[in-house]
Chains A and B, each alone.
Chain A
């Protein structure tokens, strides 16, 4: 029976997947940023134009997409800090693996604090 390759320190592990996630979330945030600068620029046109476009941000579909955006930002921001610690902190490389799980933990905690409140606003639940 051929056995699984032993792998490396990087490939298929936390180092690689955090890198993949960082890229994917980065691209997603970049394209949102392009749209967001344009929609905000509508305040210069007229109150009606801005309110019409920002109204779509309050619809259920886009409201749910905003949860994805916030999740992407939380991961990208905290993993970015992890990258900085790996680069500049003496023990950064040693603790990169545990720091990844700390990033996931803090991101999940912040997301769980945000999501119910946001869903409450989007779906007019009146919970909070």
Chain B
């Protein structure tokens, strides 16, 4: 990024500095929450019980039938994707020398972020743990009880 040096006596423009400041604050605030969310996610999904072996559609269906885990995963989705995208933006700004390339990469990053946040949010809210016509042995146990 090219550095613009303002006229020394021009009034202080705060706009850009504040945006960067909010980004800086966001990384720290979301980071603390993400440590809790992701450590909990790894503990429940990879450490408890049979770990990675136990993860299948029925496992996800069981978790997402509980609003607690829906909110947990939704928060993780939003916070982590924005945290990661903003981190990548920092790297793009550090390692590209041409402003045009930086801009293209950054727009691509935020577009990918927006698509995945939207997709993930829709999946969490429209998820059906007992889809009609699916083989019963692939579904959570509570599906057959209905």
Contacts and interface: CB of A to CB of B under 8 A. Distances in A.
A73 B42 contact: yes
B98 interface: no
B116 A34 contact: yes
A91 to B, nearest CB: 18
A48 B137 CA distance: 11
Interface string B74-93: 00010011001101100100
Interface stretch (A5-13, A79-87, A92-100): A79-87
B87 A26 contact: yes
Contact of B53 (A41, A47, A58): A58
A25 B91 CA distance: 13
B52 A63 contact: yes
Given A77-B35, A114-B47, A47 B116 contact: no
B134 A47 contact: yes
- Which secondary structure dominates where chain A touches chain B? helix
Contacts, number: 106
A80 B119 contact: no
A46 B130 CA distance: 10
Nearest to B43: A114
A101 to B, nearest CB: 19
Interface residues of B, number: 42
Nearest to A114: B47
Contacts of A84: 28, 31-32
B111 interface: no
- Measured as residues with beta carbon below 8 angstroms from the partner, the interface class of chain A is 35 or more
A121 B81 contact: no
Contacts of B77: 37
Contacts of A44: 122-123, 126-127
B19 interface: no
B107 interface: no
Interface in B51-85: 51-53, 55-58, 60-61, 64, 77, 80-81, 84-85
6 contacts: A40-B123, A43-B57, A43-B123, A43-B127, A51-B138, A70-B46
Interface of B: 28, 31-32, 34-35, 38-39, 42, 46-47, 50-53, 55-58, 60-61, 64, 77, 80-81, 84-85, 87-88, 91, 112, 116, 119-120, 122-123, 126-127, 131, 134-135, 138-139
